[in-house]
Structure 1
Amino acid sequence: METKKIIYCISIITGFCTVSAQSQSIVPVKEINVDAYSTIGEVTCMVSDTIKNILYVAFRDMKGKNVMKIASWNGKKWSELGSGFRRSENDSVVINTMIIYKDELYVGGNFYTANGYSSQCMAKWNGKEWIPVGGNATLSGEVNALAVYKNELYAGGKFRVVFEERNVPQWIPVNIAKWNGIKWINIGGVGMNGNDQIYTLAVYNEVLYVGGEFMGKGFKNLAMLSVKLPEKKLNIK
Structure 2
Amino acid sequence: MTTWDDGCGPALYVGGQFVVAGPHPTTNIAKWNGSEWQPMVTSMTATFVPQIHAFAAYGGELIAAGYFNTINGVAARSIARWNGVAWQPFPGELPTSVDWVHCLMEYQGALYAGVTELLAPGQVGGRVLRWDGSTWRPVGAPMNADVKALVVWDDQVVAGGWFSTTDGQPRNYVARWDGADWQPLGVGLNSYVETLVVHDNALIAGGFFTEADGQPADHVARWDGTSWQPLGAGLNDVVLDLHVHDGHLVAGGWFMTSGSTLSLNSVAVWSDGNWTRLSSGMNSAVRALTTFGTDLVAGGQFTTAGGRGGSSVSRWNGSQWFALGSGITGGIGALDVFQGSLVAGGYFRQGDSNADMFLARRQGDHWQPPQIAPDSTVHALTVWNDTLAVAGCFVGLIRDIGDPIPAKGIALWDGQNWSVPGTGLNGCGYALAVYGDSIVVGGSFTEAGGQPASQIARWDGSNWFPLGSG
- Structure 1 length as normaliser, TM-score? 0.61
User: Does the 8 A contact of 1:56 with 1:71 survive in 2?
Assistant: yes
In 2: Cα distance, 1:189 partner to 1:129 partner: 35
**Residues 189/120 of structure 1: CA separation in 2 closer, same or farther (3 Å cut):** farther
Q: Cα offset for 1:62?
A: 6.0
From 72, 86, 90, give the equivalent of 1:133: 90
Q: Cα offset for 1:95?
A: 0.8
Structure 1: which amino acid aligns with 2:106? Answer: V
Q: Cα offset for 1:153?
A: 0.8
After TM superposition, list the pairs within 5 Å mapping 1:46-125 onto structure 2. 46-49=1-4, 52-59=9-16, 60-61=18-19, 68-88=27-47, 91-125=48-82
In 2: Cα distance, 1:149 partner to 1:73 partner: 26
In 2: Cα distance, 1:183 partner to 1:84 partner: 28
Q: Per-residue displacement from partner, 1:128-163 (whole Å, max 9, x unpaired)? A: 2212223455553100111112221100020248xx
Partner-residue secondary structure (3-state), 1:220: coil
Q: Per-residue displacement from partner, 1:58-106 (whole Å, max 9, x unpaired)? A: 251169xxx8332222213332223232214xx2222111121222111
**Residues 213/113 of structure 1: CA separation in 2 closer, same or farther (3 Å cut):** same
**Residues 62/87 of structure 1: CA separation in 2 closer, same or farther (3 Å cut):** farther
User: Does the 8 A contact of 1:153 with 1:178 survive in 2?
Assistant: yes
Partner-residue secondary structure (3-state), 1:75: coil
Partner-residue secondary structure (3-state), 1:142: strand
Larger Rg computed on CA atoms: 2
User: Does the 8 A contact of 1:70 with 1:84 survive in 2?
Assistant: no
1:210 alignment counterpart: 159
Q: Which has the higher contact order (CA 8 A, sep 6+)?
A: 1
In 2: Cα distance, 1:133 partner to 1:226 partner: 28
In 2: Cα distance, 1:62 partner to 1:92 partner: 16
Gaps of 5+ in 1: 1-45, 162-172, 230-237
User: Does the 8 A contact of 1:68 with 1:86 survive in 2?
Assistant: no
**Residues 100/117 of structure 1: CA separation in 2 closer, same or farther (3 Å cut):** same
Q: Cα offset for 1:218?
A: 4.3
From 138, 142, 149, give the equivalent of 1:200: 149
2:104 alignment counterpart: 146
User: Does the 8 A contact of 1:156 with 1:176 survive in 2?
Assistant: yes
Q: Cα offset for 1:189?
A: 3.1
Partner-residue secondary structure (3-state), 1:95: strand
Partner-residue secondary structure (3-state), 1:175: strand
Count of aligned pairs between the two proteins: 166
Structure 1: which amino acid aligns with 2:113? Answer: A
User: Does the 8 A contact of 2:127 with 2:138 survive in 1?
Assistant: no
In 1: Cα distance, 2:137 partner to 2:82 partner: 21
Structure 2: which amino acid aligns with 1:226? Answer: D
**Residues 99/137 of structure 1: CA separation in 2 closer, same or farther (3 Å cut):** closer
In 2: Cα distance, 1:224 partner to 1:81 partner: 35
User: Does the 8 A contact of 1:57 with 1:71 survive in 2?
Assistant: yes
User: Does the 8 A contact of 1:68 with 1:95 survive in 2?
Assistant: no
Root-mean-square deviation (Å): 2.7
In 2: Cα distance, 1:92 partner to 1:76 partner: 30
Structure 2 residue 136 is the aligned partner of structure 1 residue 178: no
Structure 2 residue 178 is the aligned partner of structure 1 residue 226: yes
User: Does the 8 A contact of 1:144 with 1:156 survive in 2?
Assistant: yes
In 2: Cα distance, 1:160 partner to 1:150 partner: 28
Q: Per-residue displacement from partner, 1:37-61 (whole Å, max 9, x unpaired)? A: xxxxxxxxx1112684111112511
Alignment identity in percent? 26
In 2: Cα distance, 1:225 partner to 1:184 partner: 17
Gaps of 5+ in 2: 120-124, 182-470
In 1: Cα distance, 2:126 partner to 2:141 partner: 4
User: Does the 8 A contact of 2:77 with 2:94 survive in 1?
Assistant: no
In 2: Cα distance, 1:211 partner to 1:138 partner: 21
In 1: Cα distance, 2:30 partner to 2:162 partner: 31
Structure 2: which amino acid aligns with 1:101? Answer: Y
In 2: Cα distance, 1:189 partner to 1:111 partner: 25
